[in-house]
């Protein structure tokens, strides 16, 4: 019987009696930036500086711990800047070690151990006296003070409709939490405490992705810091929730196993950052930043578990094009596989997959397929034959076809990737662990069920079972050698024409079976897996959250290796950028993938959490995330539309669907995805008008604004700022913005206020103080009167309307409408420039698809656009700051709003510009109806200055 199990948040209480403290310590300085604090039992805390604003605390509650190894699944950069630390011991309060970097001062208490961080006289954060490095059995924790003005964000993917994380308790344990129902596979058992109602509004349950990064902001004193707790076991943050103990004025974080290893990152405002975005910048330097994705990743996507053959898939593609609904991506679930054999293609359902992909590519589509971490143990293919080879498995294993758990490796197997069935405290087993992934139940309308689904080790279910899924083996994903093997398995799919990878079931998601106790819906927690950090085998419980990030890392590196290889020259995917959309991960997963937020249900509750969930994921360093728009599964927001084969046919309620589609049009990952085995349809064209038109309007706007999304993604690669931003990230000096959960920015100046309430006909939109605001009109019509910031504006919001504002002085790039991101080779940018304050904007251009944007000589162009208001004149400057790419367009347009009369003169680089129809290069015209000046500018100079005299 395993001693390891999932532990609910109420059962981990760092504030309860029974924890041990490190007590009094002496200090020594083994090197310039590192300090050791040692107690009488030779327990040691290591404090080391990574920069003048960031330090690390390590505490392993054993005598004389070894801190010499720096290996992490998350951290890639241990030197964030130059460090100069002065150390002074002060005699106050039993002894204090003052560590001063010039930017921050860390006061380390010696009797007992603790620390406080200052910036001058401003206290940034401090530990609770004597409870800052505590331990109990194998658990470790740290308790911090929480002043009233402090609000909290981040923590990655968490449920709940409130953007702030105050007064809740959270756990980090990658978990297959279907529809966020917080249930286990044991009847009556949940992963939330007794008396708690599971669901999307309850943030205390575990979800699919674990990023234990906290962003704190002092709303009155305007300071900020981050805590990154680097621990891959089940961990916890209690942010002042007193449900189980008195947590007034404090919060804690901790884990069941492993080290107390955390980073304190303090924010410093400068010309680029406020104190909060400074923390995000440093955190994404620590854990790595996302690379530029192909531009199609920021377009609109459609998925369906139930595009079970090429006819259904190509029908959806054609309907999108016929109805002029822009779309880039189509996503094919495990239906694509030959009897759920990962990395294979069904020849029955997709008989000529390469020709199908060639056709879809010619229509402007890119495609993914679902790849889970399992390798099927089923000896039978979709035709019931054992003769069809499955190289991923058969080159390595002697498969026991009657009793798969008795399978063994071949003597000449070049690698042994699959996890042995060895349990903690037991002798090593020569047998391979066998698990089961469940994909639901077949739809009566699907004639192509894999007919020879078998269950091992006892094939009690007959062939032809309606249950979908497979038994199979999982790989030791933390082993670098296994990662290389896994990555190379994608060769056939890439050669066939797959564009991107959809990484699913990453927890990994396992259901109980005859042979294994998997009540936690994942690998047994006593199963021994290889751990790269310690380079030893560890129980699954100790390294549980590592599987997902190493799975996507292996996929990413494998795709990179294959696409850049000599063998791929001349092929469709040669030197194409990777894009992976993953269901799970750990801190640092942004280096390899974006994420979607798991299996949502059709409900207004899920819509209400969509914005704060994505915004906090972005704050946690991961810029591309989104939900299954419309809901993957049926829920309270589903409606029945009839009966088919004695089964009710359900769809998402049209009102909920339209509101959700319109909201998600401004969030980074925009994919409508649903379970076609339980729902009739979810594509916008299937709803018909007016709902289709309501959806199309904002999908169109997404494509017209695609350059804004792309440029903001580029900014993220440089400084970590997310694409979709919580209001306080841009307007931190406005005290009213810190709790707003239903508005957000795209970039720094476009304010989005979707409708997320059932039956709503009006909503208030708060406009941040310090700026004037204009209603945004993508059609470029006459500006409405400016609205002063710091107030609520009440909108009438009929179905199909999203209130959008643009900040005064903003520069917004708008392109002509396309049906997919690469449709028009020539599609000049129109820069919408609004009256008001001076502003800057960085434009990023590349070929949108290939790896040419990477070193050694990156092929891209950046241009900084600035506006300067002078007396009776406005200058607009376009300055190329990196210039190694030439776009297809030879010109761009500048549209200046708010001119009630025509300008008296315009020059470009000192030369007069004629007032003609604006069709010729370097000319302009004045639109009196829209009260704007439109300038057609030849893009033929690295520095262009446009001067407009009133």
Q: What is the pLDDT of residue 85?
A: 98
Q: Return d(Cα 150, Cα 224) in angstroms, integer.
A: 9
- Which alpha helices (DSSP H) does 213-263 contain, by range? none
Neighbours of 23 (CB within 10 A): 14
Is the pLDDT at 1 greater than 50? The verdict is no
Rounded to whole angstroms, what are the CA distances from 177 to 196, 200, 238, 347, 913?
Answer: 15, 10, 20, 33, 61
Structural domains of the chain, ranges and CATH numbers in brackets:
11-287 (2.60.40.1760), 714-802 (2.60.40.1180), 824-949 (2.60.40.1180)
Q: What average pLDDT does range 844-870 have in this prediction?
A: 95
Question: Strand, coil or helix: what is 834?
Answer: coil
Dihedral sign (CA 219, 224, 229, 230): positive
DSSP 582-609: ES-EETTGGGT-EEE----BSSHHHHHH
Query: How many CB atoms within 10 Å of residue 763?
Result: 20
pLDDT mean over 489-515: 92
| Four-point Cα dihedral 480, 534, 56, 84, nearest 10 | -80
User: What's the average model confidence in pLDDT over 260-275?
Assistant: 97
How many Å apart are CA 712 and CA 871, to the nearest integer? 31
pLDDT tens track for 527-586 = 999 999 999 999 999 999 999 999 999 999 999 999 999 999 999 999 999 999 999 999
Does the pLDDT value for residue 92 go beyond 90? no
Report the pLDDT value the prediction gives residue 457, as an integer from 0 to 100.
39
Q: Write down the residue that tokens 């711990």 correspond to.
A: 65
Each residue's pLDDT tens digit, 292-330: 999 999 999 999 999 999 999 999 999 999 999 999 999
Per-residue pLDDT band at 454 (split at 50, 70, 90): very low
How many Å apart are CA 258 and CA 361, to the nearest integer?
Answer: 48
Q: At 729, which helix (H) or strand (E)?
A: helix 727-730
Structural tokens at position 789: 């910031």
Residue 70 has a CB neighbour count (10 Å cut-off) of 11
What's the confidence (pLDDT) of residue 32? 94
Rounded CA-CA distance 72/69 in Å is 9
φ/ψ of 280, rounded to 5, equals -65, -40
What's the CA gap between 96 and 176, in Å, rounded? 46
Confidence of residue 732 (pLDDT cuts 50, 70, 90): very high
Give the range among 87-96, 426-435, 442-451, 777-786 with minimum mean pLDDT. Answer: 442-451
pLDDT value, residue 644: 66
Dihedral angle sign, alpha carbons of residues 647, 649, 653, 658: positive
Q: Which of 373-387, 737-751, 780-794 has the lowest mean pLDDT?
A: 373-387
The residues facing 119 across adjacent strands are 122
What is the pTM assigned to this prediction?
Answer: 0.97
- Residue 450 pLDDT: 58
With contact defined as beta carbons under 8 Å apart, do 42 and 64 qualify?
yes
Q: Determine how many CB atoms are found less than 10 A away from the CB of residue 9.
A: 24
Give the per-residue SS3 of 345-409: CCCCCCCCHHHHHHHHHHCCCEEEEEECCEEECCCCCCCCCCCCCCHHHHCCEECCCCCHHHCEE
Q: Is 454 within 8 Å of 378 (Cβ atoms)?
A: yes
The alpha carbon torsion through 475, 477, 482, 485 (nearest 10 deg) reads 80
Per-residue pLDDT reduced to its tens digit, 29-72: 999 999 999 999 999 999 999 999 999 999 999 999 999 999 99
Give the dihedral sign, CA 378/381/386/391. negative
User: What is the predicted pLDDT for the residue at 266?
Assistant: 99
Average pLDDT over residues 193-209: 94
What are the start-end ranges of the H helices in 64-144? none
Q: What pLDDT score does 646 carry?
A: 57
Is the Cβ–Cβ distance between 759 and 736 less than 8 Å?
no
Round to whole Å and give the CA distance between 917 and 935: 10
Give the pLDDT score at 447: 67
Query: Half-sphere exposure of 873 toward its Cβ, with a 13 Å CA cutoff?
Result: 11
Q: Quick check: helix, strand or coil at residue 487?
A: helix
| Residue 244 pLDDT class (50, 70, 90 cuts) | confident
Beta strands 580-582 and 500-503 are: parallel
End-to-end Cα spacing for the chain: 82
How confident is the model over 798-851, as pLDDT tens digits? 999 999 999 999 999 999 999 999 999 999 999 999 999 999 999 999 999 999
Contact between 493 and 439 under an 8 Å Cβ cutoff? The reply is: no
- Placement of tokens 């739809």 in the chain: 443
pLDDT in tens, 127-158: 998 888 999 999 999 999 999 999 999 999 99
Mean pLDDT score across all residues of the chain: 95
Q: Tokens for 736?
A: 């009213």
pLDDT of residue 511: 82
Residue 485: how many CA atoms within 13 Å on its side-chain side?
22
User: What is the DSSP code (8-state) at residue 572?
Assistant: T
């Amino acid at each position: 019987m395993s001693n390891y199990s999932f532990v609910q948040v109420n059962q981990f209480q760092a504030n309860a009696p029974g924890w041990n403290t490190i007590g009094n310590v002496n200090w020594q300085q083994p090197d310039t930036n590192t300090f050791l604090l040692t107690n009488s039992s030779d327990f040691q805390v290591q404090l080391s500086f990574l920069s003048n604003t960031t330090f690390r605390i390590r505490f392993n509650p054993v005598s004389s711990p070894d801190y010499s190894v720096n290996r992490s699944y998350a951290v890639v950069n241990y030197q964030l800047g130059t460090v100069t630390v002065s150390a002074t011991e002060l005699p106050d309060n039993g002894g204090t070690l003052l560590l001063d970097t010039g930017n921050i001062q860390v006061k380390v208490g010696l009797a007992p151990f603790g620390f406080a961080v200052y910036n001058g006289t401003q206290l940034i954060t401090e530990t609770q006296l004597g409870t800052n490095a505590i331990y109990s059995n194998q658990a470790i924790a740290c308790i911090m003070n929480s002043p009233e003005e402090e609000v909290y964000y981040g923590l990655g993917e968490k449920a709940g409709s409130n953007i702030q994380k105050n007064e809740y308790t959270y756990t980090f344990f990658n978990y297959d939490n279907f529809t966020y129902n917080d249930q286990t596979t044991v009847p009556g058992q949940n992963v939330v405490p007794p008396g708690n109602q599971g669901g999307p509004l309850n943030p205390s349950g575990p979800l699919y992705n674990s990023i234990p990064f906290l962003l704190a902001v002092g709303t009155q004193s305007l300071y900020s810091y981050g805590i990154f707790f680097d621990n891959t076991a089940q961990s916890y943050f209690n942010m002042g929730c007193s449900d189980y103990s008195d947590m007034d004025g404090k919060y804690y974080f901790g884990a069941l196993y492993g080290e107390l290893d955390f980073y304190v990152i303090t924010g410093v405002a400068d010309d680029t950052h406020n104190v909060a975005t400074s923390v995000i910048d440093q955190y994404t330097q620590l854990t790595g930043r996302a690379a530029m994705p192909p531009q199609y990743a920021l377009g609109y996507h459609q998925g369906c578990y139930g595009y079970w053959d090429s006819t259904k898939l190509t029908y959806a593609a054609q309907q999108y094009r016929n109805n002029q609904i822009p779309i880039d991506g189509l996503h094919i679930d495990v239906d694509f596989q030959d009897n759920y054999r990962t990395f294979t293609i069904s020849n029955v359902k997709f008989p000529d997959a390469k020709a199908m992909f060639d056709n879809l590519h010619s229509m402007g589509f890119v495609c993914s397929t679902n790849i889970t971490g399992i390798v099927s143990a089923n000896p039978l293919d979709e035709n019931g034959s054992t003769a069809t080879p499955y190289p991923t498995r058969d080159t390595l294993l002697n498969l026991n076809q009657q009793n798969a758990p008795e399978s063994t490796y071949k003597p000449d197997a070049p690698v042994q990737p699959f996890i042995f069935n060895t349990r903690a405290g037991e002798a090593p087993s020569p047998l391979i662990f066998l698990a089961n992934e469940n994909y639901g139940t077949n739809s009566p309308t699907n004639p192509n069920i894999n007919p020879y689904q078998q269950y091992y080790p006892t094939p009690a279910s007959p062939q032809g079972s309606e249950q979908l899924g497979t038994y199979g083996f999982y790989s030791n994903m933390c082993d670098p050698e296994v990662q290389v093997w896994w990555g190379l398995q994608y060769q056939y799919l890439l050669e066939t024409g797959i564009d991107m990878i959809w990484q699913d079931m990453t927890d990994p998601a396992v259901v109980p079976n005859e042979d294994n106790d998997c009540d936690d819906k994942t690998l047994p927690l006593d199963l021994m897996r290889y751990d790269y950090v310690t380079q030893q085998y560890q129980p699954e419980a100790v390294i549980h959250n590592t599987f997902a990030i190493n799975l996507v890392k292996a996929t990413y590196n494998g795709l990179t290796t294959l696409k850049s290889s000599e063998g791929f020259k001349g092929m469709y995917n040669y030197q194409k950028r990777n894009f992976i959309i993953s269901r799970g991960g750990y801190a640092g997963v942004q280096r390899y993938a974006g994420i979607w937020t798991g299996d949502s249900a059709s409900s207004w509750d899920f819509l209400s959490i969509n914005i704060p969930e994505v915004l906090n994921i972005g704050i946690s360093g991961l810029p591309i995330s989104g939900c299954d728009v419309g809901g993957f599964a049926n829920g309270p927001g589903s409606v029945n539309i009839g009966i088919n084969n004695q089964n009710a046919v359900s769809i998402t309620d049209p009102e909920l669907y339209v509101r959700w589609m319109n909201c998600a049009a401004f969030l980074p990952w925009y994919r409508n995805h649903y379970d076609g085995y339980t729902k009739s349809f979810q594509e916008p064209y299937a709803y018909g008008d007016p709902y289709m038109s309501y959806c199309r309007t904002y999908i169109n706007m997404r494509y017209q604004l695609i350059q804004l999304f792309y440029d903001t993604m580029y900014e993220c690669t440089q400084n970590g700022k997310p694409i979709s931003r919580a209001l306080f990230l841009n307007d931190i000096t406005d005290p009213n913005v810190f709790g707003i959960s239903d508005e957000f920015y795209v970039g720094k100046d476009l304010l989005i206020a979707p409708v997320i309430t059932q039956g709503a006909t009006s909503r208030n939109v708060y406009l941040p103080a310090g700026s004037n605001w204009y209603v945004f009109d993508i059609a470029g019509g006459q500006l409405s009167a400016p609205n002063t910031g710091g107030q609520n504006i009440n909108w009438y919001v009929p179905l199909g309307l999203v209130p959008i504002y643009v900040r005064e002085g903003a520069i917004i790039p708008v392109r002509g409408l396309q049906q997919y991101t690469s449709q028009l080779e020539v599609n000049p940018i129109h820069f919408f420039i609004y009256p008001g304050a001076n502003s800057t904007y960085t434009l990023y251009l590349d070929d949108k698809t290939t790896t040419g944007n990477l070193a050694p000589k990156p092929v891209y162009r950046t241009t900084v656009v600035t506006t300067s208001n002078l007396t009776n004149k406005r200058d607009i400057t376009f300055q190329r700051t990196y210039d190694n790419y030439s776009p297809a367009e030879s010109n761009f347009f500048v549209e200046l709003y708010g001119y009630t009369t025509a300008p008296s003169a315009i020059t470009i680089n000192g030369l007069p510009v004629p007032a003609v129809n604006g069709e010729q290069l370097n000319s302009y015209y004045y639109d009196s109806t829209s009260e704007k000046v439109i300038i057609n500018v030849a893009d033929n100079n690295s520095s262009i200055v446009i001067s407009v005299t009133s």
